[in-house]
Structure 1
Amino acid sequence: MRQHVNPLSSYHQAPRPLPPPAELFEQPSWPIHLDIGCARGRFLLAMAEAEPQRNYLGLEIRLPLVEAAEAEREALQLAQARILYANANVSLGPWLAQLQPGQLERVSIQFPDPWFKHRHHKRRVLQPALLNALAGALLPGRELFIQSDVEAVVLPMVALIEASGCFTRPAADPRPWRPTNPLPVPTERERFVLDRGLPVYRVLYRRNDQPVPPLLERQPGEMATAAPHP
C-alpha cells in the first residue's frame, strides 16, 4: 500500500538544508548513488551491502519510514549509506550544486507515488527544476534510472527527460522498456509486482554532453517544463 504525502503542503515545502557528504559518510569523497523516494530504504541498504565501494543516499518524504530505515542502517553498521527526510523538489538542488564534479555517479527514481488525478500531477516527484539539478550534477556517462509499474506515470517522466536533451539511452537497450533491471538489487515494490506477473516499465539513461537547458516560464494552471533542446 502506498501512503501518499502531499509534497506541496506547507510543512513539506519548508526548506531544510541537507548535510554535506563530509557530515554523512566516513568516506565523503567516494562516488554517490542517490535514490529519490527510497521508502523504507531496504533497496538502498541492500545495495550498500552488495556494492560497498560507493556511498548511498536515500531521500524520503515520509518521516516514519526514514526513522525506521535509519534505525536498520545503524543496526547493520553501514557507514556508507544514509537515509534522510527531504522533499527532493525543495531541498535537493542546493545539495547537488555543492558536490564535487563527478561525485554523483547514479540517480534512481523507482516506483514513485503515481498521483493519478490530473490536478495532482504537480505533486509527482520528477519536476523540471529537479531534473535540471540532476542533469547539472551528473557528468557525461553517469546514469539516471527510472522504473514504475504504472505506465501512465513513467511516460511523462520519459517525455520530460528526453525533452531536456541531456540524457540518452544506451544504444543496446531495447525500446521502449528494458526487460530487466540493470541494478543487482530489486526494490520491494518491484518484487511484489513481478511475483504477480505484472509489467515493470524501466528506462536507463546516461548523461550526455549537452548543456542543461533553461526552464520555460510556468503558465497559469500549468507545470513548468524543460525547454526542448535545439
Structure 2
Amino acid sequence: MAAVRVRQHVNPLAQKYCTPVNPLEWEQVYAKSSQPLHVDIGCAKGRFVLQMAQTEPNWNFLGLEIREPLVVEANQWRSELGLTNLHYLYCNANNSLQPLLSSLTPGILQRVTIQFPDPWFKTRHAKRRVVQPKLVAELANYLAVGGVVFLQSDMEFIAVEMRDRFAENPAFARVGADEWLTENPLQVQTEREIFTQNKGEPIYRALFQKVLNAEKKNINTNS
C-alpha cells in the first residue's frame, strides 16, 4: 500500500475540526463490545494500537486521530488483518471525547494512552495542545475506577504540563514515587519511542490511576 502523505501539524481549533463526532454504536464496532476498552488519543498512523490489538485480543482498542487520511489507511490495515477488536476514528479529541465516552457502558473504559502529542512550541499556541483541563475532566468522568492513563513525550515541558494537569485533578493518583517512569509499562512501544531511544535521548513517562476518593497520593509500584 502506498504511503499516505499528510500534514505534520493540524490546528485542532480550525473551523473544520469544531464539530464533535456522533456517538458510536459500540456493538457494531467490536465483535465483543463488552471487553475492556483502551483509547489511544492522537494515534497517528495507528501502528501502536494495531500491535496492541494483536497482543491483547481480550481488549478492545480505539485509536483517535485528527488527520483523516491516516485513519482511512489505518482502518484498511485493520480490515486486512481481520481484527475485530480494533477501530480507528477520525475526530478532534478535544471536542469529541464526551459524546464518545458517554455512550459507553460504565466501567468499559479502562486504559488511555497519550503519547508524543504535538508540542505546539509557541506559548500562544498552547491552547492547541491536546491535554487540556477539560480533556482531563472528561477522562476522570468516564474512566473506570482502577483504570489508568499513560503519558509520554520526548519534550520535557510537554510531559511536565500533561503530568501536572492530571495531578491537579483529584480523580487521579500518580503511580510511582519517582519523577518519571524509566520503563514503558505496556507491552508495545510506539515508533517515536523506539526512534528516540535509539538516538539515546530521554523519554518522560508518567502513569496515573483513577481512584475512588478525591485525595491525591502517590502509588508505589514496588509495594
Task: Choose which of 205, 209, 217 in structure 2 pairs with 1:206.
Answer: 209
Instruction: Tell me the residue number matched to 1:54.
Output: 59
Contact 2:75 2:88 in 1 (8 A): yes
Q: Which amino acid aligns with 1:143?
A: V
- Asked if 1:112 corresponds to 2:117, the answer is yes
Contact 1:109 1:145 in 2 (8 A): yes
Following the alignment from structure 2 to structure 1, what is the Cα–Cα distance between the partners of residues 139 and 100?
11
- Asked if 1:155 corresponds to 2:160, the answer is yes
Q: Which runs of 5+ in 1 are unaligned?
A: 212-230
Count of residues paired in the alignment: 210
The alignment yields a C-alpha RMSD, in angstroms, of: 1.6
Q: CA deviation at 1:15?
A: 2.2
Following the alignment from structure 1 to structure 2, what is the Cα–Cα distance between the partners of residues 140 and 111?
25
Post-superposition CA distance 1:62-92 (Å, at most 9, x none) = 1111111111111111110001101011111
- Asked if 1:197 corresponds to 2:191, the answer is no
- Asked if 1:69 corresponds to 2:81, the answer is no
Helix, strand or coil: the match of 2:40? strand
Q: CA deviation at 1:102?
A: 0.8
- Asked if 1:176 corresponds to 2:179, the answer is yes
Task: Choose which of 165, 172, 191 in structure 2 pairs with 1:188.
Answer: 191
Instruction: Tell me the residue number matched to 1:79.
Output: 84
Q: Report runs of 4+ in structure 1 exceeding 6 Å deviation.
A: none
- Quote the sequence identity (%): 47
Task: Choose which of 134, 144, 149 in structure 2 pairs with 1:144.
Answer: 149
Following the alignment from structure 1 to structure 2, what is the Cα–Cα distance between the partners of residues 126 and 94?
17
Contact 2:41 2:114 in 1 (8 A): yes
Task: Choose which of 13, 20, 29 in structure 2 pairs with 1:24.
Answer: 29
Following the alignment from structure 1 to structure 2, what is the Cα–Cα distance between the partners of residues 75 and 14?
30
Following the alignment from structure 2 to structure 1, what is the Cα–Cα distance between the partners of residues 182 and 163?
16
Instruction: Tell me the residue number matched to 1:220.
Output: none
Q: Which amino acid aligns with 1:113?
A: D
Post-superposition CA distance 1:173-222 (Å, at most 9, x none) = 241100000000000110110010011100011111136xxxxxxxxxxx
Helix, strand or coil: the match of 1:92? helix
- Asked if 1:131 corresponds to 2:158, the answer is no
Q: Which runs of 5+ in 2 are unaligned?
A: 1-5, 215-223
Following the alignment from structure 1 to structure 2, what is the Cα–Cα distance between the partners of residues 195 and 154?
20
Contact 2:38 2:111 in 1 (8 A): yes
Q: CA deviation at 1:2?
A: 7.7
Instruction: Tell me the residue number matched to 2:217.
Output: none
Q: Which amino acid aligns with 2:16?
A: Y
